[in-house]
A and B are shown apart, each in its own frame.
Chain A
Amino acid sequence: MTRDPVDILTQQLGATVLEQTRFRDELTLVLSTEGLLAALQAARAAGFSLLTDLTAVDRYPVTPRFEVVYHLTAPDARSRIRLKARIEETDAAVPSATLVWAGANWLEREVFDLYGIRFDGHPDLKRILMPDDWEGYPLRKDFPLTEEPVQFFGHTPKVPSEIIPKSPPKK
């Protein structure tokens, strides 16, 4: 009887996990930037052989501002886990996972391109989706979205994102 890789990993990481949440049956572990690389290596050894996704979230104006999110999958044991590290806006950098999964290469370039988060130890960190001479990081919350107004007859034109206004967040 093989053990669930989630149990192996949570046991191994133990106290290095800063926060542990479960929402809709999905387990999220928040780690420190220092402990991140070791945790990813431990996850791969525990059976999470597939780096499904690597992305970031801009939580502006909350600090620390950015979250780097790793979605890991164990195809044999059929389980998933989400690992996170929170970083400040100034000197936003996390260790690169390219040595653990080669596939992290492009995913990290994408996060760098759209959020401006650096990955220390990445072999070739440059823009991937945006043009090389682009200024700014488009997925940051303070990067403006350019939109063309929609013409409604008898009304002042609105840009698409203002047609239905944003309701206030909960909490």
Chain B
Amino acid sequence: MSELTRETLVLNMGPQHPATHGVLRLLLELEGEVILGTEPVIGYLHTGFEKEMETRTYHQNIVFPPRIEYLATFIEEQAYVLAVEKLLGIRAPKRAETIRLILAELSRIASHLVWLGTSAIDLNVSSVFMYCFRDREQILDMFEMVSGQRMMHGYFRIGGLQWDLPAGFTDHVRTFLDGFPASIDEFETLLTDNLIWRQRTEGVGVLTAEDALRYGCTGPVLRGSGVDYDVRKAFPYGGYEEYAFDVPLGEHGDSFDRYKIRLEEMRQSRRIILQALERLADGPIAVDDRKISLPPRPELVRSMEAVIHQFKLVSEGINPPVGEVYAAVESPRGEKGYYIVSDGSNRPTRVRVRAPSFSNLQALPVMVYRRTIADVVVVIASIDIVLGDVDR
């Protein structure tokens, strides 16, 4: 190689690039086609959710979480609501918890389906994309049935749920879950034994367990590297301690391992939902504390006290005790946590959103070091970032 060709080239990728799954800009330092340095430039979707949440009451804030991370909407709502419930020192009734768990696991399947479809289309397998969205559409229909919205639900409440499940919902879920294993097998026949898919993902984007921990990665990115850390098992929340499910682990930490893990997670989610449907018993769907959840409608016409509680809750909101809590859930991308500081008023002093995509994306330069540009596309897809979550 002559002295002239040893010079590196800085190439700009994004921010509007179909393979970045959002608005992400990468500055790639290249020697020929080999990447020597990567600098992700983020912030294009920064909307100041944390600042906004400081200026709203605890109840008003429920609308923000699903907008931060718009693929696993119910899991986001669950994370925020659990954090406020921890601050208040309450736990939602059994039925509410079970419904939340069913919807959260359906969200996980929906999110993984979007991931699988879009990563497949990055590698030009457009048929898988269609099949994934076909299945995801069924899940969104069920979400619409429950909450009236396909994505920005606002269905969870502090201490419970907005209303009970509609009639026939569980039958819909069962019908979907009956056909779902065949769908996953279909994806596997199209991808797992596909020579091109394997060559493009195996050994690509390798992340060692040590690096994954150093960068604070969580979720399938961390488990792909063989570290057994799933928030649902490590710090069970919302009733997960009572359910039997396995946490799949990878061996090589490459993109193929992360793909296998997400497919297996969809199967495990199905297993959890089936158990939850069995256990779904009748009961209250919100805590019986008039300082936290609204009084039931029939009480309003009979009790003056109920009217006062209703008025206070709507016009002022919940006043939690002074303190600070951190509550985390396992989102499809990793550990999603809410850190809430309360000064005892009806608004939080500080809401911090611990975004899994933010930490996972930080490990990208390590994963693509000395690989080619074509591999960057595969690695970004395998991290499964949501830019709304990265930038908040």
**Which A residues fall within an 8 A CB radius of B?**
23-24, 26, 28, 49-53, 55, 57-59, 69, 71, 73, 75, 78, 80, 82, 101-103, 105-107, 114, 127-131, 138-139, 143, 145, 160-161, 164, 166-171
Contacts and interface: CB of A to CB of B under 8 A. Distances in A.
Contact of B354 (A71, A102, A130, A160): A71
Interface stretch (B98-106, B268-276, B337-345): B337-345
A53 B352 contact: yes
Given A145-B55, A169-B344, A26 B325 contact: yes
B348 to A, nearest CB: 11
A66 to B, nearest CB: 11
B345 A168 contact: yes
Given A129-B392, A164-B57, 17 more contacts: A26-B325, A49-B213, A78-B234, A80-B326, A102-B362, A103-B363, A107-B216, A129-B46, A139-B50, A143-B51, A145-B51, A161-B56, A164-B315, A164-B346, A170-B321, A170-B345, A171-B344
A169 B214 CA distance: 39
Q: Which 5 A-B pairs have the closest CB atoms?
A: A170-B344, A103-B216, A161-B55, A75-B229, A169-B343
B326 A167 contact: no
Nearest to A159: B55
A50 B326 contact: no
B343 A129 contact: no
Interface of B: 42-43, 46, 48, 50-52, 55-57, 60, 86-87, 89, 211, 213-218, 227-229, 234-235, 315-317, 319, 321-326, 328, 335, 337, 339, 341, 343-347, 349-350, 352, 354, 358-359, 362-363, 391-392
Which among A26, A59, A73 has the highest number of chain B CB atoms within 10 Å? Answer: A73
A70 B59 CA distance: 27
Contacts of B57: 164
Contacts of B343: 169-171
A96 B324 CA distance: 24
B326 A71 contact: yes
B362 A106 contact: yes
B56 A160 contact: yes
Contacts of B235: 78, 80
Given A24-B325, A167-B346, A169-B345, A55 B51 contact: no
B318 to A, nearest CB: 10
Contact of A75 (B89, B234, B325, B345): B234
A53 B351 CA distance: 13
Contact of A103 (B86, B214, B341): B214
17 contacts: A23-B323, A52-B328, A57-B349, A101-B215, A103-B363, A105-B362, A107-B216, A130-B43, A138-B51, A139-B51, A145-B51, A161-B56, A164-B60, A166-B345, A167-B345, A169-B322, A170-B321
Contacts of B324: 23, 26, 28, 82
Contacts of B335: 52
Contact of B347 (A28, A129, A166): A166
A106 B358 contact: yes
B50 A101 contact: no
B43 A129 contact: yes
B276 to A, nearest CB: 23
Given A101-B214, A130-B46, A24 B317 contact: no
Contact of A129 (B228, B345, B363, B391): B391
A71 B359 CA distance: 14
